[in-house]
Amino acid sequence: MSLRFGFVPVVPPYVGAQQEEHVVSAYEAALNALGGERVDAEKLDTPAPLLYLVATGGTERVVLDLRARRALTAPDEPVVLIAHPGNNSLPASLEVLARLKQDGERGHIVYLRGPQDDSGYERIAEVVGDLRAQRTLATSRIGLIGDPSDWLVASSPDADVVEDAWGPSVVPISIAELTSRMEAISGADVAEAVVSLAEGATDVVEPSKSELADVARVHAALRTLVDEYALDALTVRCFDLVLNLETTGCFGLAELTDEGFIAGCEGDLVSTVGLLWVHALLGEIPWMANPAQLDEDENTLWLAHCTVPRKMVESYRLRSHFESGQGVGIQGELPLGPVTLLRIGGTRMERLWLAQGDIERTGDFENLCRTQAQIRLSSGHVSELLHEPLGNHIVLVPGHHARRLRAWWEMFV
């Protein structure tokens, strides 16, 4: 898919139009091929990400003026400068970025070695994707259905912390609203979902047909809340469903994620932000799980949870919820291969644990949550989780993406 962004050629007042076009035209076609569009300096309010093509030297004050005007409509957007080898573009970019850093602003230089620098244009494409993900987070709405679970003593930031640090607004919704919508959903309303869930499974072990219908009602009720509150993500104090209604949110949360609405467990806002982040940046379906076991010598850990998006797994069985023995849990077989793990933490959500490795095997241990995967880390070490933990849940995303995630983090956090 083409990336959509604007770029502003920056020249000092004394450079004529012919000289400007000579410099800019060398790069314009390649930027257009990436999905870019040349933006006039008088149209800085474009909703698309905006980059500054520093055409020549002597542009330092011009860039700062353009940034001040752009900040009126995009105050949190980092300043991305495109520099090239000629016309003193690079020294001007270095001076501008140094000043921006002095002023407490965020910025980044992408250096093109010339008009044919394919790797440089790939980096521009990544940076545009980074900016678009940041814009997605800044405009997202996360529904917090019920309070965070009582045991999340390090994972319950205030709503203003989430918004200030990462951008999404938090929409509080009571558990009572969820249960009232469940009561309005009939068996006929969820009959198709029940059939799909059961027929897609390789086995249905503990759950009864009525339990399958109950979890399908949870999903349908959550879907009405997504629509009513215009949510992009949500997280549920799901153990209240177990205790009060003898059902589970495991299927509902998995199904919402498969449908493109990020859904986290246990009212964990921190992990839900992590899920939303990797989905916005990478376009991958993520999984949230407990680090259940680890081996420091082997640098391996087991992740386990009673829910997993069905699009992530090669097959699945329907089981009961592990801790309670009630409702429906999903025991999925995640594919072996490369994965990236992350955990956000800190009082202001300003810390990050990031590692990558490979799923080496899956499990069916009866003393762990239903979906289980053992990961051997190739970067990062499991001992860091013991010595400097940021909290319980870990986010897993398929593929090796640590470099990309780290680059985003360093630009925006």
d(CA 97, CA 99): 5
Q: pLDDT digits over 97-108, tens only?
A: 999 999 999 999
pLDDT tens, residue by residue, 368-380: 999 999 999 999 9
What is the rounded average pLDDT of the residues 5-28? Answer: 84
Do 145 and 90 share a structural domain?
no
Beta-carbon neighbour count of residue 328 at 10 Å? 31
> What is the pLDDT confidence band of residue 1, given thresholds at 50, 70 and 90?
very low
**Contacts of 320 by beta carbon, 8 Å cutoff, 6+ apart:** 205, 206, 207, 326, 327, 328, 329
pLDDT of residue 71: 95
pLDDT of 18 above 80? no
CA distance 83 to 257: 40
Same domain, 101 and 194: no
Q: For the domain that residue 200 is a member of, what is the CATH number?
A: 3.40.275.10
pLDDT band at 3 (very low <50, low <70, confident <90, very high): low
**Same domain, yes or no, for 93 and 152?**
no
Task: For residue range 33-73, list pLDDT tens digits in order.
Answer: 999 999 988 889 999 999 999 999 999 999 999 999 999 99
Helix axes 209-228, 187-200, angle to 10 degrees: 110
At residue 413 the predicted structure's pLDDT band, cuts being 50, 70 and 90, is: confident
Domain with 113 in it: 5-138
Do β-strands 36-38 and 5-10 pair in parallel, antiparallel, or remain unpaired?
Answer: parallel
Q: Are 166 and 86 in the same domain?
A: no
131 and 162 belong to one structural domain: no
CATH number for the domain spanning 67: value is 3.40.50.10940
Tokens of 39: 């933006």
- Tally of domains in the chain: 2
Q: Is the pLDDT of residue 14 over 80?
A: no
CB proximity list for 343: less than 8 A, separation 6 or greater:
271, 274, 352, 353, 390, 391, 393, 394, 395
- Name residue, tokens 């970025």: 97
209 exposure class (CB count in 10 Å sphere: 0-12, 13-18, 19+): exposed
Q: Which amino acid is at 106?
A: R
DSSP state of 149: P
